[in-house]
């Protein structure tokens, strides 16, 4: 991961693109790449999505969209001087408290819905 972060920053700086990396514009681009990822599943049932993903070429295209999102997340963390992975570790610990295993097990409910009902 550390290597990837370095590669992302080097890619950007060799092109002198740091100037375009306003946090708002990076956030816009993350949303747009997330939409391109989602587009692969448009109008598909779960079964059709599974069949689609059995084809190697499609899986590679989905992986490339996912990569675009990750590269932009790294870029956003970089311009804000932060560590993407450390923040994710903190968030996971916070989710651990928000979604206690005893209540959250086997349900897709959001944490505020979880809190509203007995364990």
Residue 33, burial from CB neighbour count under 10 angstroms (0-12, 13-18, 19+):
buried
**Does the protein bind a second copy through residue 55 (CB under 8 A)?**
no
Q: CA–CA separation, 24 vs 11, rounded Å?
A: 20
Separation between Cα atoms, residue 11 and residue 75, nearest integer Å: 10
State the nearest-atom distance from the C-beta of 112 to a second copy, in Å: 13
Among 44, 51, 55, 115, binds a second copy (CB under 8 A): 44
* Longest Cα separation, the chain: 56
What would the two tokens of residue 23 be? 């946090």
Nearer to a second copy, 92 or 118 (CB): 92
| Binding letters toward a second copy, positions 97-116, x by CB under 8 A | --x-x--xxx-x--------
| Residue span 59-98 as binding mask against a second copy, x where in contact by CB under 8 A, dash where not | x--xxx-xxxxxx-x--xx--x-x-xx-xxxxxx-xxx--
């Amino acid at each position: 991961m550390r290597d990837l972060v370095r590669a992302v920053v080097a890619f950007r700086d060799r092109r002198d693109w740091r100037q375009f990396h306003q946090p708002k514009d990076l956030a816009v681009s993350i949303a747009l790449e997330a939409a391109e990822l989602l587009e692969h599943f448009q109008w598909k049932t779960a079964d059709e999505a599974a069949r689609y993903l059995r084809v190697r070429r499609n899986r590679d295209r989905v992986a490339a969209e996912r990569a675009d999102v990750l590269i932009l997340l790294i870029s956003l963390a970089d311009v804000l001087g932060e560590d993407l992975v450390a923040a994710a570790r903190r968030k996971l610990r916070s989710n651990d408290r928000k979604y206690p295993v005893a209540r959250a097990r086997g349900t897709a409910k959001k944490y505020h819905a979880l809190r509203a009902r007995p364990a």
